[in-house]
């Protein structure tokens, strides 16, 4: 047998392994209609709904609601991406895939980065669709193209942080239904008790400090400051958003090996 | 030479002791059958040997390499076919195999070539470009097994490979396993089916409650149960009543053929007949025979297997 000659070639390589697994994930997502809909159609549906329900009352209070809404639906789409990551992680962990990958001579964390890479590819598509649709209804990058790039990078950074957190959740729980429930319990309060869809001043006084300071509002502040010409300081809010993003990434990067290694 | 050496393996999950000092060895080129009921510790043992789980105590060597100190080197020498198929339903059979080939660094062309080779070898060429999700249970198993062989492992671990398969698919999988052995692959196979262990394994290790309780060839194990057994078959509806009746005098077990009691010569046979006759029970079949591996397993573990 030629066994030793052949298996001798197998060497863990982080880049090759993560790239192969990213390719796998992108291909799988592209073949699952529900995945494509939640990436490309659902964010647009929400954008349309919020615009229809809140557009007129918000305009009356002096808010340019299209400018206000695009950052919010971008953040919501990044949340959808994270939820998708957690479901794929739970599927891989509850089936036999993760066991096989972990018994193979590949880079240890590459399955996690494969899912992350695939989801970030999906996030780029979501952002492009939302900004494209936003442009059709009057959204503009009022600070010019450089800040538009910053806008995309902040959104992608936040998608990476969210995906990493939800991947940890998915691998640790390893049951699709439970992951969906827990993921939803995190998603709804963070999304709605924020300044994403209405300004913080719409909330009762006692709730306002939470609304203003929770990370999703801070990311929204930054996305609005770099896209819309207001009194907000683009550089300062961006730094704060980057700080939050790095903090979440650091926390869940520390937890990831544990969650991944623990998979039954 | 032992390709897999397991010594004094212990593993607990919380309060549950899954493995309690398990030792076994698989020799070069053989099929080692690891036989045991559900919950005996078979899968835990496989998970430790294949580097997925760390043991609390004990040592495992694969091809002379310690799994604790150099798991990465162990991974280049093993293939694992677990209880759950490690396949992507939305990828075709060819795409599934090619992905693993890429991960094993066969290169783009090499991975494609190896995939085609295995598809032919496992009789999957006609279905090569269909998605794995459309496959029957038997085809999925074959594809999953093919995937674990891409790197030409020295040792293949098969965790209950035929559970849930129909007899025809099972036979075709058995034929594949035999062919792999003929080609020189060492195989460790867990099963809860005696027929499977008897059919495939060169040696059998019987484990229960995380320990080895017997070891040897199928014939060795059969000889562990001396004497004969008396088997009784009655109408299905009468079974519970007859079981109760016989239990008052003997240690009764159920098998595929009906009820079985240990026989002490033909006297037992006569006593069974008298007892059943006294209760006006019509017997469909009754007789003495030599113990099977099933009986040996029952005698060793005190419980029936999945067969």
pTM: 0.84
CA distance A231 to B103: 51
Nearest to B283 by CA among B230, B240, B229, B242: B242
Nearest to B77 among A7, A99, A106 (CB): A7
Tokens of A110: 């590459």
Residue A235 maps to a domain:
yes
Angle at B188 between CA B187 and CA B194, to 5 degrees: 115
Residue A152 maps to a domain:
yes
Does residue A134 contact residue A74 with C-beta atoms inside 8 Å? no
pLDDT for the residue A216: 96
3-class secondary structure for chain A? Answer: CCHHHHHCCCCCCHHHHHHHHHHHHHHHHHCCHHHHHHHHHHHHHHHHHHHHHHHHHHHHCCCCHHHHHHHHHHHHHHHHHHHHHHHHHHHHHHCCHHHHHHCCCCCCCHHHHHHHHHHHHHHHHHHHHHHHHHHHCCCCCCCCHHHHHHHHHHHHHHHHHHHHHHHHHHHHHCCHHHHHHHHHHHHHHHHHCCCCCCCHHHCCHHHHHHHHHCHHHHHHHHHHHHHCCCCCCHHHHHHHHHHHHHHHHHHHHHHHHHHHHCCC
Label residue B265 by pLDDT band (50, 70, 90): confident
Q: Determine whether the interchain pair A6/B151 forms a contact, defined as Cβ–Cβ distance below 8 Å.
A: yes
Nearest to B184 among A1, A11, A96 (CB): A1
Residue A1 maps to a domain:
no
Label residue A3 by pLDDT band (50, 70, 90): very low
Q: Say yes or no to pLDDT of B144 above 80.
A: yes
Which of B105, B113, B146, B149 best tests the A interface by mutation, with the highest count of A CBs <10 A? B105
- Min distance A224 CA to chain B CA atoms (Å): 39
What ipTM describes this predicted complex?
Answer: 0.88
Label residue B225 by pLDDT band (50, 70, 90): low
Nearest to B86 among A12, A17, A99 (CB): A99
Average pLDDT over residues B220-231: 75
- Min distance A103 CA to chain B CA atoms (Å): 6
Mean pLDDT rounded to a whole number for chain A: 92
- By percentage, how much of chain B surpasses pLDDT 90? 63
Domains of chain B: 2-222 (3.40.50.300), 226-290 (3.30.70.980)
Burial B284-295 (b: 16+ CB within 10 A, else e): eebeeeebbbbb
Please report residues of A whose CB lies closer than 8 A to that of B83.
96
Domain count along chain A:
1
Q: Say yes or no to pLDDT of A227 above 90.
A: yes
- Per the structure, the complete domain to which residue A152 belongs is given by 14-261
CA distance A226 to A242: 13
- Min distance A48 CA to chain B CA atoms (Å): 32
């Amino acid at each position: 047998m030629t066994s030793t000659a052949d298996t001798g070639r197998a060497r863990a390589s982080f880049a090759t392994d993560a790239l192969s697994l990213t390719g796998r994930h992108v291909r799988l997502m592209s073949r699952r209609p529900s995945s494509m809909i939640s990436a490309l159609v659902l964010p647009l549906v929400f954008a349309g709904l919020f615009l229809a329900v809140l557009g007129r009352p918000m305009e009356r209070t002096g808010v340019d609601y299209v400018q206000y809404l695009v950052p919010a639906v971008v953040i919501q789409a990044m949340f959808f991406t994270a939820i998708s990551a957690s479901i794929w992680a739970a599927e891989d962990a509850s089936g036999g895939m993760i066991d096989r990958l972990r018994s193979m001579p590949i880079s240890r964390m590459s399955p996690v980065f494969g899912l992350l890479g695939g989801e970030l590819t999906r996030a780029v598509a979501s952002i492009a669709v939302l900004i494209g649709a936003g442009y059709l209804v009057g959204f503009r990058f009022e600070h010019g193209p450089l800040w538009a790039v910053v806008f995309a990078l902040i959104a992608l950074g936040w998608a990476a942080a969210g995906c990493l957190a939800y991947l940890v959740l998915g691998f640790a729980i390893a049951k699709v239904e439970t992951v969906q429930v827990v993921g939803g319990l995190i998603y709804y309060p963070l999304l709605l008790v924020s300044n994403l869809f209405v300004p913080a001043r719409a909330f009762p006084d006692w709730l306002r400090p939470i609304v203003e300071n929770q990370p999703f509002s801070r990311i929204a502040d930054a996305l609005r400051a770099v896209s819309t010409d207001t009194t907000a300081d683009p550089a300062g809010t961006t730094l704060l958003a980057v700080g939050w993003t790095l903090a979440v990434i650091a926390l869940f990067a520390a937890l990831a090996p544990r969650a991944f290694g623990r998979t039954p | 030479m032992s390709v897999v050496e397991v010594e004094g393996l212990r593993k607990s999950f919380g309060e549950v002791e899954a493995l309690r000092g398990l030792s076994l060895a698989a020799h070069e080129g053989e099929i080692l059958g690891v036989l045991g009921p559900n919950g005996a510790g078979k899968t835990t043992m496989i998970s430790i040997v294949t580097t997925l789980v760390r043991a609390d105590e004990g040592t495992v060597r694969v091809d002379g390499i310690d799994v604790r100190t150099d798991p990465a080197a162990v991974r280049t020498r093993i293939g694992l076919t677990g209880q759950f198929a490690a396949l992507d339903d939305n990828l075709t059979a060819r795409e599934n195999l090619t992905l693993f080939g890429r991960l094993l660094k066969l290169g783009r062309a090499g991975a494609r070539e190896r995939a085609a080779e295995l598809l032919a070898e496992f009789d999957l060429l006609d279905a090569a470009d269909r998605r794995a999700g459309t496959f029957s249970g038997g085809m999925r198993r074959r594809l999953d097994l093919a995937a674990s062989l891409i790197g030409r492992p020295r040792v293949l671990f098969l965790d209950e490979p035929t559970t849930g398969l129909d007899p025809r698919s099972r036979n075709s999988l058995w034929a594949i396993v035999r062919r792999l052995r003929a080609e020189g692959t060492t195989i460790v196979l867990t099963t809860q089916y005696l027929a499977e262990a008897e059919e495939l394994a060169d040696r059998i290790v019987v484990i229960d409650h995380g320990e080895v309780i017997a070891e040897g060839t199928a014939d060795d194990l059969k000889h562990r149960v001396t004497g004969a057994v008396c088997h009784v078959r009655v109408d299905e509806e009468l079974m519970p009543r007859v079981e109760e009746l016989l239990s008052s005098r003997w240690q009764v077990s159920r098998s595929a053929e009906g009820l079985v009691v240990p026989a002490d010569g033909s006297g037992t046979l006569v006593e069974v007949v008298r007892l059943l006759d006294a209760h006006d029970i019509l017997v469909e079949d009754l007789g003495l025979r030599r113990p099977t591996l099933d009986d040996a397993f029952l005698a060793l573990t005190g419980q029936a297997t999945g067969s």
